[in-house]
Structure 1
Amino acid sequence: MQQKLKSRFRLSKTYLLLTVLLFLTEVYIGKYVHDAFVRPYVGDFLVVILLYCLVQSFIQMPVKPLAVGVLLFSYVVEVLQYLNIVKVLGLENNSMARIIIGTAFAWSDILAYTLGILLVVWIEKIVNNRTTSAG
C-alpha cells in the first residue's frame, strides 16, 4: 500500500515549467492588463489550467479526476465569492485576499473555468494518444 502512494508523488519538469509560465502570465495580466476581455475572461480561463498543471507537477494523477477536482474547486471559490466570503472573513481591506479569492460572482467565470478545463482534457487526450501510438 505504501509503495502505491509513494509512486504517485513525482516531480514533472514539464508541468512545473507550464505552471511557472502560466503563473507569470497571470501575474502579468493582473498587473498590466486592464481591459474588458483578457483580464476578466482569459485570466479565469488560464487559472484552472494553472491549478491543473500545479498539481500534476508534483502528483501523478489521472486526467479526468484531477480536471473534475480543479473544476469543482474553482466552482466552490466562485460560490464563496457569491457569498461575499472576503467580507464575511473581515478581509475586505486585504488586497491579497481580494486577488486570490476574488470578490464578485459571475456566471462568465464559471463558463471560463469550464472551457479551460475542457481544453486541458482535450490536450491531454491528444498528448496521451500520441504517446500511446508512438510507444
Structure 2
Amino acid sequence: MVWRPGHAAVAALLLAIEVAIALYARDRFIRPYLGDVLAVILVHCGLRAVLPIRPLPAAATAFGIGALIELGQAIHILDLLGIRTIRIVAVVLGGSFEWLDFLAYAAGAGIALAVDRRVLHN
C-alpha cells in the first residue's frame, strides 16, 4: 500500500462535490453528466491515493468501473438484486442507462490522466 496525500485530498474534495450534486442538483447536465465525469476522476484519485498503480491503469480501471455500473443500469441490476429501495445504493449506482454516460466516463478518465500526469505526478 502507498499513501499519496494529494490524490487523497482530491478524492475527498470530489466526494464532497458528488454528495452536494446528489443532494441538490436537479438538472439535465450537472447531475447526469458532470457528476459522471467527476465520479470517474474520484475513483481514479481514490485508487492512486492508496494503491501502487500507475496513472494509465488507474484511469482505465476507473473508466471500467463506470462502464460496469452503466451496464448494470442497462440490465436493471438494482431491481434484479431487490435493492432499488436502498437510497444510497440507488444514488451511487444510478437507475437509468444512457449511452452518453460512456462519453462522460471517457472524459473523466482523460481528465484524471492529464491532471495526474501534469499536476499530481507522484
What is the TM-score with the length of structure 2 in the denominator?
Answer: 0.92
**Distance in 2 separating the partners of 1:96 and 1:102:** 10
Please identify the structure whose Cα radius of gyration is greater. Answer: 1
Coordinate RMSD, CA, aligned: 1.4
Partner in structure 1 of residue 50 of structure 2:
58
**Cα distance per residue 1:74-114 (max 9 Å; x no partner):** 11110011000000001122112211211111011111010
Deviation at 1:127, TM superposition (A): 3.8
Tell me, which stretches of 5 or more residues in structure 2 are unaligned? Answer: none
Query: What does residue 95 of structure 1 align with?
Result: 87
Partner residue of 1:72?
64
**Residue pairs, 1:1-135, within 5 angstroms:** 9-127=1-119
What is the one-letter code of the residue matched to 1:60? P
Aligned partner of 1:4 in structure 2 is none
* Structure 2: distance between partners of 1:53 and 1:127: 12
Return the offset for 1:46: 0.1
Q: State the match for 1:3 in structure 2.
A: none
Higher RCO (C-alpha under 8 Å, 6+ residues apart): 2
Count of matched residue positions in the alignment of Structure 1 and Structure 2: 121
Structure-1-length-normalised TM-score: 0.84
Secondary structure of 1:79's aligned partner: helix
Identity of aligned residues (%): 28
